[in-house]
Amino acid sequence: MAGRNGRTVRDLRRGNRTAVLQRLYFDGPLSRFELGPATGLSSGSVSNVVADLVADGLVEEAGSVDSDGGRPRTLLRVAPASGHMIGVDVGETRVRVELFDLTLAELARAQRPLEQQGYEVEVIVDHIRSGIAEVLSGAGLAPERLLGVGIGVPGIVEHTPDRGAVVHGQTIGWDAVPLESLLRAGSPLPDTVPYFIDNGAKTLGQAEMWFGAGRGAGNALVVLFGSGVGACLVTPEVEHGRAVEWGHLTVRVRGRRCRCGALGCLEAYAGAESLLARWREEGGRVPGGTDEETALTTMLAAAYPADDSAPDPVALAVLEETAEYLGAGLSDLINLFQPERILMGGWAGLRLGSRFLPAVHRHALSYALRHPAEKVTIELGRLGPDAVTVGAAILPLADFFARGGRRPDPDPQSPPPAWHTALQERTPR
């Protein structure tokens, strides 16, 4: 029966379970006494919800604390083994697959290198399938115990009613690829295990906002700097994050050709792929037969030698020019969105790290309007190269929260709540 606001008793119970689960997840362990004011629920509601969650194996005791003059209070926490998720990063140099428990502790991982940035659809699908099978086997986990598989991909993701997630990845040659349908055909997973597919920059942003350098920020931009560049915008209006095709802003009319086919994109100057190409064009000694990550490490060592030797002037000049392009690109984001925080992640951004960031910061502030520039901080992400897989695993975790800790309903006539509902309702502060 629905109330005046359209919510049923089932909706209310699910909402109460969600509130308790999320508070324990982010702020636990907590006592029943603390959960009341933390969730806004009455003591009776808290007791009933906790009893249900304990009976379901989702919540467990975690010791006790002394109370003021009374009996010690029992602490509660989310049970790590009560759920498992897989996060997949379809990256620029490899496909990374990781298995996590409910608290996002890594249990197993598998990696598949991409030879010469090969994005053949069949190859990527096979890498994801085999990686999923490998991590499940390595951890001895039955597939049906998964809450879901989250996948971060390059490009724009469209969610359709008939084909599921469809990926438009112009830079990698993907034109409306029905990735979810392809994965489901011949999948090692039962049909009850859902896939959650979204843009990789967005999953990176979600990970940093929940667990990394974005915690506490209400308005932030998380930048993915790898072979190309992308960004995720998080504001009070789009708390679950929105992917921004930042790499395809035009920074030079009739400039270098981008891998998307257009001329003068930021990615044609600021991505690691273009950075190495420009070093090669200027006479730099780019090592042959190596992957992009190794080549960038070589360039970084040449520009910033660890000993007292002189830096390679060509490598240093190209890196400094790249820092200016990135800074100018960030100034556009500062002027448009006025974020309080910008975080730079991605394998290339983390590899260049603290040596590179001060120059990027300096150029960003010089190109941006003074007022928003004075309010923004620019720093590196804190979650390392696994941030995209962690963020991808957050997608089924958020869906699990939105369901009040219940697994997906296999009845197709009972549509699940949108997975991004929990992302909107609880970005940690």
Concatenated DSSP letters of 273-311: HHHHHHHHHTT--PPTT--HHHHHHHHHHHHS-SSSSPP
Range of lowest pLDDT (69-73, 249-253, 318-322, 371-375):
69-73
User: What's the CA angle centered on 271, arms 269 and 272, to 5 degrees?
Assistant: 115
What number is the average pLDDT over the span 177-186? Answer: 92
Q: What is the pTM of this model?
A: 0.85
Tokens representing residue 68 in the block: 């003021």
- Other Cβ atoms within 10 Å of 82 Cβ, number: 19
What number is the average pLDDT over the span 13-40? Answer: 90
Average pLDDT of the chain? 86
pLDDT of amino acid 419: 45
| Model confidence at 273: pLDDT above 60 | yes
Question: d(Cα 183, Cα 390) in Å, to the nearest integer?
Answer: 20
Tokens representing residue 57 in the block: 């194996």
Give the pLDDT confidence of 314-347 residue by residue, as tens digits.
999 999 999 999 999 999 999 999 999 999 998 8
Q: What is the percent of the chain where pLDDT is above 70?
A: 90
Tell me if residue 152 falls in helix, strand or coil: strand
pLDDT of amino acid 6: 60
What number is the average pLDDT over the span 157-167? Answer: 90
Per-residue pLDDT band for 68 (boundaries 50, 70, 90) equals low
What number is the average pLDDT over the span 261-281? Answer: 91
Peptide bond into 29 cis (omega under 30): yes
pLDDT of amino acid 126: 93
What number is the average pLDDT over the span 166-190? Answer: 90
Residue type, 428: P
